[in-house]
């Protein structure tokens, strides 16, 4: 999931409270500080994309699960019901 390639970047200053949050996330995830920052940035970007498009992927998954749980009212017709032995429509 995480790239092992390291790129030297400019040093940034992080407020103490933000640094505390990064450490807490790293502890919860059992990850390094860099991985925790990566997790947070990716989650924020995904959240912003969903908000921009108006599509909530969790909601879409929940709707799909509800439809899959519905009983089958009638079996899907087979090709044999539509086509004869020569492949022509009945």
DSSP 20-73: HHHHHHHHHHT--HHHHHHHHHHHHHHHHHHHHHT--HHHHHHHHHHHHHSPPS
- Residue-range domain boundaries for the chain: 16-70
pTM of the shown model: 0.47
Higher pLDDT, 40 or 76: 40
12 secondary structure, DSSP code: -
pLDDT single digits (tens) 14-38: 889 999 999 999 999 999 999 999 9
pLDDT single digits (tens) 44-82: 998 888 888 878 888 899 999 999 999 988 888 888 889
Quick one: pLDDT band at residue 4, thresholds 50, 70, 90? low
């Amino acid at each position: 999931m995480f790239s092992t390639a390291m790129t030297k970047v400019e040093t940034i200053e992080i407020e103490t409270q933000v640094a505390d949050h990064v450490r807490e996330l790293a502890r919860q995830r059992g990850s390094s500080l860099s991985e925790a920052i990566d997790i947070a940035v990716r989650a924020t970007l995904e959240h912003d994309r969903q908000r921009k498009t108006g599509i909530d992927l969790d909601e879409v998954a929940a709707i799909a699960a509800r439809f899959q749980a519905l009983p089958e009212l009638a079996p899907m017709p087979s090709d044999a019901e539509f086509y004869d032995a020569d492949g022509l429509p009945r």
